[in-house]
Amino acid sequence: MLYIVPTPIGNLADITYRAIEVLKSVDSILCEDTRTSGKLLKHYEIKKPLQAYHQHNEHKVVEQLSDRIEAGESIALITDAGTPGISDPGFLLLRACIEKGIKVETLPGATAFVPALLNSGFPCDKFVFEGFLPVKKGRQTRLKLLEDEERTIIFYESPHRILKTLRQLQEFWGARKASISREITKMHEETVRGTFEELIEYYENNVLKGEFVLVVEGKPKKQKPL
């Protein structure tokens, strides 16, 4: 069986009892960075063989891994933080196992965009998760495509691109409100809310560190004439 196991996005206490039980029971664990995951596993006294599985090697090893599971090995897939497959490696192995009729069990757990969405104060009954925008090719096309989206929109962004993204959103979407959460569950957790202009000014004068979750209000609906 393949187990998809979410891991904490910061605070090591944010892991379920079931996740620990699964990680202790499997034959081996796949992880993005064995050093990063090793700290978590050591904290919970989990001693299992680790194998690197990340965006640079997943195409090469996915067939081999699915063959091993098909032959009877139980494997857990984790990432450096959060839920595998959500803006992290995982989809290719999941698909390969499903195509081979291998049982896949996905555990519920931590993911960064849920607390960021709730902290934003924007409607969260319906929303769009975009993850990371294209770095270069297709970036402007994507922004234009989302311009008329009326649901709350969620992006992931890196520290060195957050200001560029805010400026482009202001350019393409005009005046709109947004919320940015970073270092979620960590000591320096922070959520800043305001217009694009206010957020640009804030991050031009404050620390750019950690992983950013950018939540943007949907396009305001036009009022119907009376």
CATH code, domain with 163 = 3.30.950.10
- Answer yes or no: do 206 and 176 share one domain: yes
Domain identity same for 41 and 124: no
Length reported for the chain? 226
For 74-196, strand residue ranges (E) read 75-77, 104-106, 127-132, 152-157, 177-182, 190-195
Chain Cα centroid distance, residue 163 = 20
Same domain as 101, residue 132:
no
* Amino acid 64: pLDDT: 96
Same domain, yes or no: 120 and 47: no
Do 132 and 206 lie in a common domain? yes
Please say which residue of 74, 106, 138 terminates a domain. Answer: 106
Token couple for 131: 């993850």
Domain assignment of residue 117, given as a range: 113-216
Give the model's pLDDT for residue 224.
Answer: 59
pLDDT score of 180: 98
Q: How remote is the C-alpha of 64 from its chain's centroid?
A: 26
**CA 204/CA 198 separation, integer angstroms:** 10
Q: Are residues 152 and 69 in the same domain?
A: no
Q: Is residue 222 part of a domain?
A: no
What span, in angstroms and rounded, lies between the C-alpha atoms of 110 and 215? 18
Q: Is residue 221 a part of any domain in this protein? A: no
Q: What is the pTM of this model?
A: 0.91
User: Which stretches of the chain drop beneath a pLDDT of 70?
Assistant: 223-226
- Considering the domain boundaries, does residue 223 fall inside one? no
Q: Answer whether 212's CB lies under 8 Å from 161's CB.
A: no
Q: What local confidence, expressed as pLDDT, does residue 222 receive?
A: 74
Q: Which amino acid is at 225?
A: P
Cβ(23)–Cβ(76) under 8 Å?
yes
Q: Residue 13's pLDDT is what?
A: 95
The H-or-E segment that residue 4 falls in is strand 2-4
Domain end call among 53, 84, 106: 106
Question: Contact, 4 vs 84, CB < 8 A?
Answer: yes
Residue 224 lies in a domain: no
Q: Would you tell me how many other CB atoms lie within 10 Å of the CB of residue 106?
A: 16
Indicate which CATH number applies to the domain containing 17: 3.40.1010.10
| Residues 99 and 152 reside in one and the same domain | no
Number of domain units in the chain: 2
Looking only at the bridges linking them, the beta strands covering 28-31 and 50-52 are: parallel
62, part of any domain: yes
Please say which residue of 106, 122, 149 terminates a domain.
106
